[in-house]
Structure 1
Amino acid sequence: MSGVLTNILSAMPIFRQFDPFAGGFDFRNLIYQWENIGVFDLFLPFLLVFAVVFAILSSTRVLGDHKGVNIIISLVLGLFSVRVLFVRDFFGVIFANFGIAIAGLIVLVILTGVFVTEKSRKQWVKLVFGIGVVGFVIVMISSINSFSWFGSPWWQRNWLNVLWIAIGGVLLAFMLAPKEKPGDWGPLEPLRKKLE
């Protein structure tokens, strides 16, 4: 009976690498098969969008505590995001760039861990956090630029207006922000405490 089951399973492409008589398990073939059936292009981007939208809807309670409504909206937005080829391509580019940035940040953390003393650790943590934020901005701009968004005629005509609006928004945020005691980071206060 087990021979019949082995023959049935080995006839299916997804289980062929598990055949004990085929020479062992080949992880590379499994990844190629997942790529061919759309796990990386369809399923994982759908799962990511679904999870993020569901988490946002559940935590903000914009639509109340109705989990069914949150699931349906998350499902629809996840399916829409997978349907559009542009979104799938953007996910592929941005996560590849984030992988490179995270690898560089990990190397920086390892090197600072080797050379940093206990006394200067707080300053180094702030520096590494700042480098991480700059890396995030660079990855976002690089990912957006790979689709020639910044090379379009609209950006070439209006980049200065966008810059002035951004500067005005930052200044307005500083002017309207409530006055707080020195050293208080506002909503980022828990992060500041962890950095200390």
Structure 2
Amino acid sequence: MVEESVFRGIISLFTKLGVYDIILPFLLVFTIMFAILEKTKILGSEKIEGREVTKKNINAIVAFSIAFLVIASTQLVAIINEVMANIVLLLILGVSFLLLVGVFFSDKEFTLEKFPTWTKFFMVLMFVGIVAIFLNALGWLQFVFALFLNWDAEWAASILFMIIILGFIIFITYEPREKPKRKE
């Protein structure tokens, strides 16, 4: 029988204490809500010694209350845990890809500033990935997968026909915009 390591024992102790199910989601929601309230100054600000300062005490109480309401729901905590694990996976995937791209740039420094279209592409790709992660965590992607798995040739032909018609209409009615000429 394999003996349990000290680190595995600590992790199981944290699990029994509720660190992963209560404390970490609470801290995450509290921190994000407090940062949003501080940045947006929704609950107001006051002038102290000529400086405009946010009402930290009200922001903290509101963020604290929202965080407690979130951890009271086990479904929300489960969604947060699943989403955060998948977002970290997406982040590791992005960093790994950038490391692989950096291999091909030899001794030159690689920055995405020289490639603005790639930067936008990766931003859109990460956004789509995060939306897909949230939809999967909420269980909404099962309906989409079921739709694609259960359709027959009639459905596919109808959808393809509609896409071709829409593409044709857009192609016929599209007028390129004229760029305004600069006056010098």
TM range (shorter): 0.5 to 0.7
Please give the residue correspondences for 1:7-86 in structure 2 after superposition, counting only pairs within 5 Å.
26-64=6-44, 65-86=54-75
Q: Between Structure 1 and Structure 2, which shows a larger proportion of helix residues?
A: 1
Corresponding residue SS for 2:77: helix
Cα distance in 1, alignment partners of residues 110 and 8 from structure 2: 44
Is 2:116 the counterpart of 1:97? no
Please give the residue correspondences for 1:41-190 in structure 2 after superposition, counting only pairs within 5 Å.
41-64=21-44, 65-116=54-105, 118=108, 121=111, 122-124=113-115, 127=118, 130-151=121-142
Contact 2:26 2:67 in 1 (8 A): yes
Structure 2 letter corresponding to 1:138: G
Query: Runs of 5+ in structure 1 lacking a partner?
Result: 1-24, 157-196
Contact 2:87 2:130 in 1 (8 A): yes
Residues 147, 60 of structure 1: alpha-carbon distance in 2 compared, 3 angstrom cutoff: closer
Cα distance in 1, alignment partners of residues 18 and 38 from structure 2: 28
Contact 1:105 1:132 in 2 (8 A): no
Contact 2:33 2:63 in 1 (8 A): yes
Following superposition, the deviation at residue 136 of structure 1 comes to 3.3
Taking every aligned residue pair, what percent have the same amino acid on both sides?
A: 26
- What is the CA deviation profile of residues 109-150 of structure 1, one whole-angstrom value per residue up to 9, with x for unaligned ones? 111111026497444575256325413322322332243225
Residues 120, 34 of structure 1: alpha-carbon distance in 2 compared, 3 angstrom cutoff: closer
Cα distance in 2, alignment partners of residues 52 and 134 from structure 1: 23
Cα distance in 2, alignment partners of residues 98 and 111 from structure 1: 20
Following superposition, the deviation at residue 46 of structure 1 comes to 0.5
- What is the CA deviation profile of residues 55-101 of structure 1, one whole-angstrom value per residue up to 9, with x for unaligned ones? 11111111122211111100000000101111101111111111211
Q: Using CA pairs below 8 Å that are at least 6 residues apart, which structure has the higher relative contact order?
A: 2
TM-score (norm 1): 0.58
Cα distance in 2, alignment partners of residues 35 and 119 from structure 1: 43
Query: Runs of 5+ in structure 2 lacking a partner?
Result: 45-53, 148-184
Corresponding residue SS for 1:52: helix
